Amino acid sequence: MKSLFKPMSKKGMTIGDLGPVALVLGVAVLIVAIVASILATMQGDLTPDSIAANVTADGLATMEVVGNNIPTIGLVVASAIIIGVLVVSFRTK
């Protein structure tokens, strides 16, 4: 039976891995910004203290938390790639 998962490459991580990661992070930033904008627009049209207003307020708060943590996520991912590059470059053969 074949495995569903491909084995990881033996070469490890490279600096070239930063490009796709940066693209994914940029798309995530755009999605958070668009969703927050939609929620803000919706909240202005809702009756105060309704269930829908409470849900959109919670959604806006969540988008703020996610948006505030995106730089940290980017730093962690870039650090992981750099550490991976260093580990591969100092690996003994």
- For residue 12, the model assigns a pLDDT of 60
Name which residue leads in pLDDT, 9 or 21: 21
Q: What is the pLDDT of residues 35-77, one digit of tens each?
A: 989 988 888 888 888 998 899 899 999 999 998 999 999 899 8
Distances from the Cα of 14 to the Cαs of 25, 37, 49, 51, 81, in angstroms?
18, 36, 51, 48, 7
Predicted confidence at residue 15, as pLDDT, reads: 73
Residue 83: the pLDDT is: 85
- Read off φ and ψ for residue 9, nearest 5 degrees: -65, 145
pLDDT single digits (tens) 74-93: 899 888 888 888 887 787 66
